[in-house]
Amino acid sequence: MGEALRAARQYEPLDEAKEDVMASTTFLGLGAMGCALAMAALDAERPVVVWNRTSHRAQRLGEHGAAVAATVEQAVTGDGVIVACLFDHRSVHDVLDPVAARLSGRTLVNLTTTTPNQARELATWAATHGIDYLDGAIMAVPAMIGGPGSALLYSGSATAFEQHRSLLDGWGESSYFGTDAGLASLYDLAILAGMYTMFAGFTHGAAMVGSEGVSATEFATRAAPFLAAMTGSFADTAAIIDARNYAGDGQQSLEFTQGALDTIVQASIDQGMNAEVLRPVHDLVRRQIAAGHGAQGFDRIFEELRITR
């Protein structure tokens, strides 16, 4: 994984002249994110072709200058890059399998959310049809596309990443993680795992104080600064995990953590709440203590979560 991270840093933006910006970019799938991607390309004065299973979203982009294709077959006519931003892995096959023979020699940038293995399967599928495949993961919400804070992760074809860099950079900061098509998805889903868990914890806390009439807005003003400060410790946590040193000075022990979680769970129950958000972490800590690691730091739960290869 370290090699992938180094690879992500080795590319600098290319001169736009090296890319054929006159070729149309075809966008397949116009949900909120697909629309944002296509609109960013239109704002950059690129020729754009759009298709969507339901046509009303495509028509809105047509009003901004996009060529609207009635069918996928019409959409993929031409020789420009194809951008797929569809519902799921199955959707990519449903849309592209019927026209795969027409895509030989073309570049496919797949921004549909998939698992790493699904991304690798699509890369293999693309190779059998002579398609240059680049898998991407979007670390942004639609409103952020093309603006500050938007970041996209890519893996797969290095050629595709280099040749279409100006298109990709128009959506956000681009990072390339190497030729393994599954790596961008892996990083994306790993980061999202942390995000969803954090938000679940926040909503649990909002429910706790909400049981006494405190608004979620008021709670957010208290919780947000503290949680932001806590993310500042990620680098220290990472160093502990990488060193497999869970007994260092200053680490909160698993035994202390169990006591804290016991108290939070009981307080939640006392407030008439469901404590399901907390139980998985509570159970991880209890199992580590039962295995004799109670004096070691909380970060040791990593050892139970990781896959031994």
Reported pTM: 0.90
Written in H, E and C, the secondary structure of the chain is CHHHHHHHCCCCCCCHHHCCCCCCEEEECCCHHHHHHHHHHHHCCCCEEEECCCCHHHHHHHCCCCEECCCHHHHCCCCCCEEECCCCHHHHHHHHHHHHHHHCCCEEEECCCCCHHHHHHHHHHHHHCCCEEEEEEEECCHHHCCCCCCEEEEEECHHHHHHCHHHHHCCCEEEECCCCCCHHHHHHHHHHHHHHHHHHHHHHHHHHHHCCCCCHHHHHHHHHHHHHHHHCCHHHHHHHHHHCCCCCCCCCEHHHHHHHHHHHHHHHHHCCCCCCCCHHHHHHHHHHHHHHHCCCEHHHHHHHHCCCC
Q: What is the mean pLDDT of the chain?
A: 93
Model confidence pLDDT, tens digit, residues 16-41: 434 555 689 999 999 999 999 999 99
pLDDT of res. 308: 65
pLDDT band per the 50, 70, 90 thresholds, residue 15: very low
pLDDT of res. 180: 98
Average pLDDT of span 235-253:
92
Q: Is the pLDDT of residue 9 over 60?
A: no
Model confidence pLDDT, tens digit, residues 170-210: 999 999 999 999 999 999 999 999 999 999 999 999 999 99
183 vs 65: CA distance, rounded Å = 35
Contact indicator for 184, 153 with CB cutoff of 8 Å: yes
Model confidence pLDDT, tens digit, residues 105-156: 999 999 999 999 999 999 999 999 999 999 999 999 999 999 999 999 999 9
Could you tell me the CA-to-CA distances from 10 to 51, 161, 176, 247 in Å, in that order? 34, 12, 8, 36
Contact indicator for 136, 145 with CB cutoff of 8 Å: no
pLDDT of res. 14: 41
